[in-house]
Amino acid sequence: MEQGVKLIVFKERLGHAHIGVTAAVYAHVRLRLQRDAINTLGTVLNGPTTAETANDDGDEPPPCAALVR
C-alpha cells in the first residue's frame, strides 16, 4: 500500500471475501499512510517560512505553496 497499491487489489489477491477483513489485518499500514499524508498536507499548507515580515501591511494575500487550478 505504501507503494500505491490499492487495498482492493490486496483483497482480491489474498482471496478475502470482504474488504473489511483486509483492512483490519493491514490497519497498521493504513495508519502510517494517513500520518504521512497529514504530514505532507501540513507542509504544503504551511509553506516555506520567510523572514520577510517588515513590509507586511496586511493587504497581500497569504502565500500559497500549492498550485490552485
Task: State which residues form the domain around 19.
Answer: 7-46
Grid cell for residue 18: 470482504
Structural domain count, the chain: 1
pLDDT at 36: 85
63's CB contacts (< 8 A; 6+ apart) are 47, 48, 50
pLDDT at 62: 53
Say what the pTM is: 0.44
Contact status, residue 27 vs residue 20, Cβ threshold 8 Å? no
Asked, for residue 59, whether it belongs to a domain, the answer is no
C-alpha 52, offset from chain centre: 29
pLDDT at 13: 94
Pairwise pLDDT comparison (56 vs 26), residue with the higher score: 26
Q: How far apart are the first and last CA of the chain?
A: 28
Q: In terms of Cα–Cα distance, which of 52, 44, 47 is closest to 63?
A: 47
